[in-house]
Copies of this chain bind each other. A is one copy, B any other.
Amino acid sequence: MLLTETSRSSSPLDEGNSFLVRKLSHYRNLPADELLPLEGSLQRSRRTTQPRAILIEQGEPAGEICVILDGWAARQKVLADGSRQILAFHLPGDICEFNALLGAAADTETIALNGVKSARITRRLLNELAVAAPRVSQALWWEALSSNAIQREWLINIARRSATERIAHLLCELHSRLLLVGLASSTGFQLPLTQAQLANACAMTVEHTNRTLRKLRDLAGVQFEAGSVDFADPEAVRSIARFNGDYLLLKEMRSEASSTPFLGAS
């Protein structure tokens, strides 16, 4: 069965923070006392964004990063002709706009795909975590690496794979990422995307995406309905996609990787 946020939050304070914490804990063992400052801060900076509304505006020099507590977001670039290209999907537990920490204006915009609950991590908090919670700090930066690796894999997806492989690969990636935070079963997950958004992310037309989805259903029994996906045979889908999830960097960090990146107040 598919887990939802509310069905698994244990305490009021914990509510909504757990996806990020759960993911970070996969990277590294994190003692509870190190997690408290992060969890508290996320709790205090919660906000809600409506579907289709802008979560992070282009040109916004934030100086803080955005954590998706619940819901899906998409990072996209607005092109000269007004069209948009989706560059990344942000799922619960993901961190958006790591580069905002340097004070750079975002050259992309991030929109909410469905109702999104988010929170912010300030530069100051990151500084404090680097000293007071080095393991948490490391895990956060590991997350940034993972995010870059996903960006690179998207390039490969579009550059080298056929339409069928491409869609299948994206679905496998989303499945793996959602599994990590407990938002997928072994054979399916909630997918709050229209075919147009799926098409955009895969650099295809809507029509061809539609036909490709049909093909995936015929080939591997992939079911799309009512905002959810079900893999009748997950291994078949991964095989079609030639999916290898190593790039997600999900395997545990070597703990002797003793660098603790943090931001110093200047």
**A residues touching B (Cβ–Cβ < 8 Å)?**
61, 63, 77, 79-80, 83, 85, 87, 99, 101-104, 107-108, 123, 130-131, 134, 138, 141-142, 145, 148-149, 151-152, 154-156, 158-160, 203, 242, 244, 246-247, 249, 253-254, 256-266
CB distance from A131 to the nearest CB of B (A): 8
Other than the known A103-B258, A134-B266, A148-B148, what 13 A-B pairs have Cβ atoms closer than 8 Å? A63-B257, A63-B259, A77-B152, A85-B156, A102-B138, A103-B253, A103-B254, A107-B149, A107-B247, A107-B249, A151-B155, A158-B159, A261-B263
CB distance from A169 to the nearest CB of B (A): 12
A-B contact pairs, 5 of them (CB 8 A): A102-B257, A104-B253, A148-B151, A260-B264, A262-B264
| Chain B residue nearest in CB terms to A254 | B103
Q: How far is the CA of A63 from the CA of B256 in the complex (A)?
A: 11
Contacting residues, chain B, for A80 (C-beta < 8 A)? 242, 244
Q: How far is the CA of A58 from the CA of B85 in the complex (A)?
A: 30
Q: Are the CB atoms of B134 and A259 closer together than 8 Å?
A: no
| Chain B residue nearest in CB terms to A83 | B160
Q: Are the CB atoms of B257 and A104 closer together than 8 Å?
A: yes
Q: How far is the CA of A263 from the CA of B134 in the complex (A)?
A: 11
Contacting residues, chain B, for A104 (C-beta < 8 A)? 142, 145, 249, 253, 257
Contacting residues, chain B, for A85 (C-beta < 8 A)? 155-156, 159-160
Contacting residues, chain B, for A262 (C-beta < 8 A)? 261-264
**A258-B266 in contact given A79-B160, A145-B102, A158-B203 (Cβ < 8 Å):** yes
- The one of B145, B155, B259 that contacts A155, using a Cβ cutoff of 8 Å: B155
Q: Are the CB atoms of B141 and A102 closer together than 8 Å?
A: yes
Q: Are the CB atoms of B257 and A103 closer together than 8 Å?
A: yes
Q: How far is the CA of A256 from the CA of B102 in the complex (A)?
A: 10
The 10 closest A-B pairs by CB, nearest first: A103-B257, A159-B203, A260-B266, A99-B145, A258-B266, A260-B264, A261-B263, A155-B155, A85-B156, A158-B159
- The one of B101, B142, B257 that contacts A259, using a Cβ cutoff of 8 Å: B101
Q: How far is the CA of A80 from the CA of B239 in the complex (A)?
A: 12
